[in-house]
C-alpha cells in the first residue's frame, strides 16, 4: 500500500526480475563440421531463454521452451566452422 502526499492510498504491485538461468546439462554437447545438432539444454529458469554462439560458422536457433527446465536448441555447424 502506498500513501500519497494528498493522503490517498494506492495499491502497489512489485514484480521480481526473472531469475538468472542455471545450466546443468546439454544432452548432445558436441557436433562435427557440416552437421546440424538438435539438442536440449537442461537447467533451471530457462523458460523464454535464448542462446548466443560466438564461433564463426555456427548458427543457433531456439524454440519456445515448454517448461523452465529445458530449452530445445538447434546448432548448424558449417563445413568451414572455426
d(CA 78, CA 82) in angstroms, rounded, equals: 9
In tens, the pLDDT along 5-38 reads 566 555 555 555 568 889 999 988 788 999 999 9
From edge to edge, which strands make up the β-sheet containing 36-44? 22-26, 36-44, 70-77, 58-62
For residue 7, the model assigns a pLDDT of 62
For residue 1, the model assigns a pLDDT of 46
For residue 63, the model assigns a pLDDT of 82
Q: Is residue 69 very low, low, confident or very high in pLDDT (cuts 50, 70, 90)?
A: very high
In tens, the pLDDT along 42-59 reads 999 988 888 888 888 999
User: pTM here?
Assistant: 0.70
More confident residue, 63 or 75: 75
Amino acid at each position: 500500500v502506498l500513501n500519497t502526499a494528498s493522503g490517498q492510498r494506492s495499491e502497489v504491485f512489485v514484480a521480481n526480475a526473472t531469475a538468472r538461468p542455471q545450466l546443468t546439462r546439454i544432452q548432445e554437447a558436441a557436433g562435427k563440421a557440416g552437421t546440424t545438432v538438435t539438442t536440449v539444454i537442461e537447467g533451471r529458469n530457462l523458460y523464454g531463454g535464448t542462446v548466443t554462439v560466438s564461433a564463426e560458422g555456427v548458427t543457433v536457433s531456439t524454440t519456445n521452451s515448454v517448461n523452465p527446465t529445458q530449452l530445445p536448441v538447434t546448432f548448424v555447424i558449417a563445413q568451414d566452422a572455426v
